[in-house]
Amino acid sequence: MQIELINFYTSKNYEKNLENLIEIINNSTSSLLLFPEVALTGFDYENWQKANEFGKTAINALSKLNKTFALTIIVENKNYFCFFDNGLVYKRAKYNLFGYEKKHFEIGEKPEIFEWKNLKIGSLICFELRFIEYWEKFKGIDLILTPARWGKERIEHFKTLNKAIALSTQTQVIAVNSANEKAYGCSFDGWSEGVEFDNEKIITFVDLDKNKKIRKKLDIGIK
């Protein structure tokens, strides 16, 4: 499976951000693209109503694309993980809010498993990566997607946690951080092997059957 991770830089111009994101998607040959948290607006609390309204515009525009991709979008005072596949097919609002997010966002739903093309997928939006209860829930699924806007002063935590959750769950972890903080992305399998990068983007090829072999070789009770 070919997956493209984009360390997207978010400007103050929402419309230009959307235009750039659509261009990247349309030019991609990958099976799946992952963008950072709130890639289109950032946490623009000074223009909070505008950011919320733009979220609706963005979902409408992105739903028209014939590609598969994921990112988070601010709508109705919630931070939604949105998974598109020829339209919006799944969304979940962030549950574990961090810092100033608690003053602006409404709490969403706890991370859960959804299915796409017979694959079991879990999403962790940035800060949610720190909560071990979700690691237990996601053991043995096919993919964990983690879009983030992780503070650059804590980027080593982000790197370590992504590798640790891959080892703990024996699952393929795909994570990408906003270039506005610290450009970083990674793809780790259940053996903690994979790629890390800090440039604009990377295309990685993932063998989803490898983790099944890892579970047999290193049996910790995950099927």
- Whole-number pLDDT of residue 126: 98
In CATH terms, the superfamily for domain 2-217 is Carbon-nitrogen hydrolase (3.60.110.10)
Beta pairing, strands 78-85 & 88-93: antiparallel
- Whole-number pLDDT of residue 222: 85
Distances (CA, A) of 24 to 8, 18, 63, 145, 166: 10, 10, 15, 19, 27
Q: What is the pTM of this model?
A: 0.96
Residue (of 104, 137, 106) closest to 123 by Cα position: 137
- Whole-number pLDDT of residue 11: 97
- Whole-number pLDDT of residue 22: 98
Report pLDDT digits (tens) over 140-158: 999 999 999 999 999 999 9
Contacts of 155 (CB under 8 A, 6+ apart): 177, 181, 182, 184
Tell me the β-bridge partners of 83: 70, 90
pLDDT in tens, the chain (223 residues): 999 999 999 999 999 999 999 999 999 999 999 999 999 999 999 999 999 999 999 999 999 999 999 999 999 999 999 999 999 999 999 999 999 999 999 999 999 999 999 999 999 999 999 999 999 999 999 999 999 999 999 999 999 999 999 999 999 999 999 999 999 999 999 998 999 998 888 999 999 898 888 888 888 888 7
- Whole-number pLDDT of residue 223: 76
Report pLDDT digits (tens) over 35-48: 999 999 999 999 99
Q: What distance in Å separates the CA atoms of residue 19 and residue 61, rounded to the nearest whole number?
A: 10
- Whole-number pLDDT of residue 10: 97
- Whole-number pLDDT of residue 123: 98
Q: What distance in Å separates the CA atoms of residue 21 and residue 113, rounded to the nearest whole number?
A: 26
